[in-house]
Structure 1
Amino acid sequence: MTTTASPTDRPSPWRDELRATLALAWPLILTNLSMSLIGATDVVMVGWLGPTELAAASLGFNLCMIAAIFCMGLVTATAPMMASERGAKAHSVRDIRRTFRQGLWVAVAIMIPIWLVLWQTETVLLTLGQQAELASKAQSYVRAYMWSILPFLWLIIARNFLSALEQPLWSLIIGTLGVFANAAFNYVLIFGKLGLPPLGLVGAGIGSILANVFMFLGMVAVISYHPKFRRYHLFGRWWRSDWPRFRALWKLGLPIGVTMGLEGGVFGVAVMLMGLIDTASVAAHAIALQVASVTFMVPMGLAQAATVRVGIGYGRRDAALIRRAGWTSFVMGTGFMAAMAVFMWLFPELLVAVFIDRDAAINAEVVQLAISFLAIAALFQIVDGAQVVGAGMLRGLHDTSVPMLIAAFGYWVVGIGVGAWLAFYQGWNGVGIWVGLATGLGIVAVLMLVRWSLRARLGLLP
């Protein structure tokens, strides 16, 4: 007697891809959230020192973040390279090791000029018109904090290695431990506990160094001793040069760094444009942007998963796997953001109330502006998720240069251009800036999706 398998029992490549993407993405999403919690902890503890210290630290931190985001984009190239190397040879060791080690080299190479610039933070901030007292305090903070960027970049490279092997859970575990370690280091050093003198802003910078070193050493321990990873011997003779791989990482990573820098920069400019309108617009913008930043962690994690899954297909020269991997992450990312958009449309007052007392008369203008911004941010959510996942899909194909140009056009020409025109020439004020941002991100999302859809005609497939 024979039995026929039911439709749900039959192998489904799309269902398998969905499972693989989910298994890879959820630890990455939570790891991204843990990194956000570390930043939030720093803000809270420095805020306890006083408004002047918080303002100075914010200036210094934002300056560091501009540099760190670019550098993070540069070393992000290790993810698609290691994924495609694993796809080409399932048991590849040497090529993955080469990419990992040269990623460490690239991080050191880019940080040397970055450190030289950050050392002159006071001069930079004074040139930008900031107050002398804030610039001086910011420099004392940055001259400690800036040394934490290198172990942070090395941590990103280690996370990319684990992601390429589709073993991201360790990144989540170490990232979670890092949240508590960062809080402990900051508390002791900023306020002078356990017999140590209070170091204030300098203590906050040193705490960040210790937290990032702690997390990186945790990664080193896992990678060096875990049975699944120790066979790669990633840290053996890491000092040996490999100039062809070093150049390949720069070629692939530099456009990613520029793209991420352009995206981060456009939001910085948006804040400055809000400041030209009024204080209430700045406050309302901060609330709407914070809501969007939290939900953004989900498509960002899916974009990282897409890079790895598409990269594996790229290495295998498997067009069907590339198609499934890309579209699966894209539908999941945009679907989640669409759900969040509906929530923001239906319950804007509830979201605003998390950040500000909506019943206080003094906050009435900020509350109304924030609600109006969230209405636009809901649409913004969908296109922002689409463009970040689209970029991740193309990175899996080692396609970074044209996406960089797309980002420059969409973010700066359309986003800032349309936003400034609507805000200041059409009288839309803050709503105009948000419409501009949403329009720019929409253009980027459409162009990324068109490029992905035409990948065979454009010669992007292996």
Structure 2
Amino acid sequence: MYETTTLQGKIKLFIKILIPILITQVGIYLISFFDTVMSGRAGATDLAGVAIGSSLWVPVLTAINGVLLAITPIIAHLTGAKENKLVPKKVQQAIYLSIVLGFLVILLGGMALEPVLNLMALEPEVQHIAKYYLITLGAGIIPLFIFNTLRNFMDALGQTRVSMFIILLSLPVNILFNYLFIFGKFGIPALGGIGAGIATAITYWIICLVSILIIAFMQPFRGYQLFSNWLLPNGRAWREQLKIGMPIGIAMFFETSIFSAVTILMSVYSTNTIAAHQAAMNFASLLYMIPLSVGMALTIPIGYEVGAKRYQEAKKYAYIGISGSIFIAIFNGVILFVFREPVASLYNSDPTVIELTASFIVFAVFYQLADAFGAPIQGALRGYKDVNMTLVISLVSYWLIGLPSGFLLANYTSLEAYGYWVGIIIGLSCGAIALLWRLFHLQRKY
């Protein structure tokens, strides 16, 4: 990171930070995308099972990643204030915390998985695939959390291209192992959707090991000597990260878990409807990586400028990011609407599933427009270390407005399953408006 003095310089630096983050986020999501698409080629049952498993895993992953994401503004503030000597201690403690969180997710997930799946009126085969997809994927949870911590450290230094390289390296590896385990090659039995979980866990281990090697031996990371002079776990350092990270993680959980709640509520519909809904949601979530990446990128320069007490410069970065995100969302919406049927056919060859998926994608056009406002603003607020109000806004807009309105529209109007999507759009729109108000309030305060 470095200081900029002109608008052109800010746009150039922001793009330099954003593009690798966007490619990285898309790459991370493509792991789940390829799991779903390649499982769909094994059959509609495998598609539904992996999609259900993914819908349960993603909110948990997002929530924990929110906690781990707190290290980005912490490091950005330190580097902005020229206190680089404190960085290794913060990152070491964040690694300890990521390991503890990984064990907790495995423990609690093991206890909750069966009861949660039993709540859903799934066909036995779909439930079996969803259960063992998650169990096998669980073997890679701890290395994934360690990688995300190290990645957030690298990004906070403005070195976003490095994490991009790691993820791009992992994609062909994930596709290869999916091919081997889903379809059964070279003597490996065909495991269908369950094989996707094994492939993903192996991929998580590989990206963790690669990131450790890069930080240990490459500049500028080697200069920080993260893996030398290890300190014992420190509760005070954990509390500092959790104070910022917990509200971020819970807010992200509220946002993503609403989709899991919708999936549970939609389990009363046919397998084809569930498969189509999940396929459309999977692709819409891929598009969400754009505003999410803008938000993550905004956290870095805004945190850096706030750490240096250059508040007007931080304000300019916020407007650059938000306006860019909205423009991209409008462009994406047009493309998605025009090509909705070819996109739907990526997931399944059944004409009924394709038709249903294309119908859901029309609603996804509007939902990603609302996301284009909300996600970048959340990233800007994280740069100020302002996270508690975001938590409140997420709870109200998604769970007290979005989900109830979706339930009413689905059960008491002719929209049926589509009603849940309309409810999500309403919730996201209300959240975006409230977040924009919060950002204006914060900028006036500073």
After TM superposition, the score normalised by the length of structure 1 is 0.85
Q: 2:152 aligns with which of 160, 178, 181?
A: 160
The 1:274/1:57 distance shift into structure 2, 3 A limit, reads closer
SS of aligned partner of 1:235: coil
SS of aligned partner of 2:442: coil
The 1:140/1:377 distance shift into structure 2, 3 A limit, reads closer
Q: 1:104 aligns with which of 72, 88, 95?
A: 95
**Which residue number corresponds to residue 350 of structure 1?**
339
The 1:41/1:81 distance shift into structure 2, 3 A limit, reads same
**Which residue number corresponds to residue 144 of structure 1?**
136
The 1:227/1:336 distance shift into structure 2, 3 A limit, reads same
Q: 2:429 aligns with which of 437, 442, 452?
A: 442
In structure 2, what is the Cα distance between the partners aligned to 1:161 and 1:386?
Answer: 26
Deviates more, 1:209-218 or 1:18-27: 209-218
In structure 2, what is the Cα distance between the partners aligned to 1:137 and 1:283?
Answer: 14
2:254 paired with 1:295: no
**Which residue number corresponds to residue 74 of structure 1?**
67
Q: CA deviation at 1:47?
A: 4.5
Q: How many pairs are equivalent?
A: 440
Q: Is the 8 Å Cα contact of residues 80 and 307 (structure 2) preserved in structure 1?
A: yes
In structure 2, what is the Cα distance between the partners aligned to 1:13 and 1:125?
Answer: 54
* Residues 385-436 of structure 1, C-alpha deviations (whole Å, 9 max, x = no match): 1100011110111111110110111111111122222333343334433332
Q: CA deviation at 1:207?
A: 2.9
Q: Is the 8 Å Cα contact of residues 291 and 351 (structure 1) preserved in structure 2?
A: no
2:321 paired with 1:321: no
SS of aligned partner of 1:429: coil
Paired letter, 1:110:
L
In structure 2, what is the Cα distance between the partners aligned to 1:48 and 1:148?
Answer: 24
**Which residue number corresponds to residue 30 of structure 2?**
37
Choose between structure 1 and 2 for higher RCO, CA contacts under 8 A separated by at least 6 residues.
Answer: 2
Q: How does 1:369-408 map to 2 (within 5 A)?
A: 370-371=358-359, 373-408=360-395
Q: CA deviation at 1:255?
A: 1.0
In structure 1, what is the Cα distance between the partners aligned to 2:14 and 2:107?
Answer: 41
More helix by share: 2
Q: CA deviation at 1:290?
A: 4.0
Q: CA deviation at 1:379?
A: 3.1
Paired letter, 2:109:
L
Q: Is the 8 Å Cα contact of residues 47 and 53 (structure 1) preserved in structure 2?
A: yes
2:217 paired with 1:225: yes
Paired letter, 2:150:
A
Q: How does 1:409-448 map to 2 (within 5 A)?
A: 409-448=396-435
Q: CA deviation at 1:443?
A: 1.1
2:16 paired with 1:23: yes
In structure 2, what is the Cα distance between the partners aligned to 1:139 and 1:291?
Answer: 22
SS of aligned partner of 2:219: coil
**Which residue number corresponds to residue 197 of structure 2?**
205
The 1:118/1:272 distance shift into structure 2, 3 A limit, reads closer
The 1:213/1:333 distance shift into structure 2, 3 A limit, reads same
SS of aligned partner of 1:236: coil
Q: CA deviation at 1:145?
A: 1.6
2:170 paired with 1:183: no
* Residues 191-221 of structure 1, C-alpha deviations (whole Å, 9 max, x = no match): 6655667676665434323211211111111
Paired letter, 1:420:
F
The 1:25/1:286 distance shift into structure 2, 3 A limit, reads same
**Which residue number corresponds to residue 109 of structure 2?**
118
The 1:42/1:277 distance shift into structure 2, 3 A limit, reads closer
Q: CA deviation at 1:367?
A: 3.4
Q: CA deviation at 1:252?
A: 0.7
Q: CA deviation at 1:446?
A: 1.0
In structure 2, what is the Cα distance between the partners aligned to 1:328 and 1:435?
Answer: 29
In structure 1, what is the Cα distance between the partners aligned to 2:369 and 2:183?
Answer: 42
Q: Is the 8 Å Cα contact of residues 48 and 278 (structure 2) preserved in structure 1?
A: no
In structure 2, what is the Cα distance between the partners aligned to 1:28 and 1:21?
Answer: 11
Q: CA deviation at 1:149?
A: 1.4
Q: Is the 8 Å Cα contact of residues 30 and 286 (structure 2) preserved in structure 1?
A: no
In structure 2, what is the Cα distance between the partners aligned to 1:240 and 1:322?
Answer: 35
Deviates more, 1:253-262 or 1:205-214: 205-214
* Residues 243-265 of structure 1, C-alpha deviations (whole Å, 9 max, x = no match): 22111111111111111111111
In structure 2, what is the Cα distance between the partners aligned to 1:203 and 1:111?
Answer: 22
Pairwise CA RMSD of aligned residues?
3.0
Q: What are the ranges of 5 or more consecutive residues in structure 1 without an aligned counterpart?
A: 1-10
**Which residue number corresponds to residue 300 of structure 2?**
308
In structure 2, what is the Cα distance between the partners aligned to 1:330 and 1:38?
Answer: 27
**Which residue number corresponds to residue 8 of structure 1?**
none
Q: Is the 8 Å Cα contact of residues 258 and 404 (structure 1) preserved in structure 2?
A: yes
In structure 1, what is the Cα distance between the partners aligned to 2:67 and 2:350?
Answer: 47
In structure 1, what is the Cα distance between the partners aligned to 2:132 and 2:68?
Answer: 27
Q: Percent identity?
A: 27
**Which residue number corresponds to residue 239 of structure 2?**
247
SS of aligned partner of 1:317: coil
* Residues 45-88 of structure 1, C-alpha deviations (whole Å, 9 max, x = no match): 44565555554444444433332222111111111111111111
SS of aligned partner of 1:166: coil
The 1:166/1:30 distance shift into structure 2, 3 A limit, reads same
2:355 paired with 1:367: yes
Q: Is the 8 Å Cα contact of residues 152 and 212 (structure 1) preserved in structure 2?
A: yes
Q: CA deviation at 1:286?
A: 4.0
Q: 2:438 aligns with which of 445, 451, 461?
A: 451
In structure 2, what is the Cα distance between the partners aligned to 1:219 and 1:36?
Answer: 18
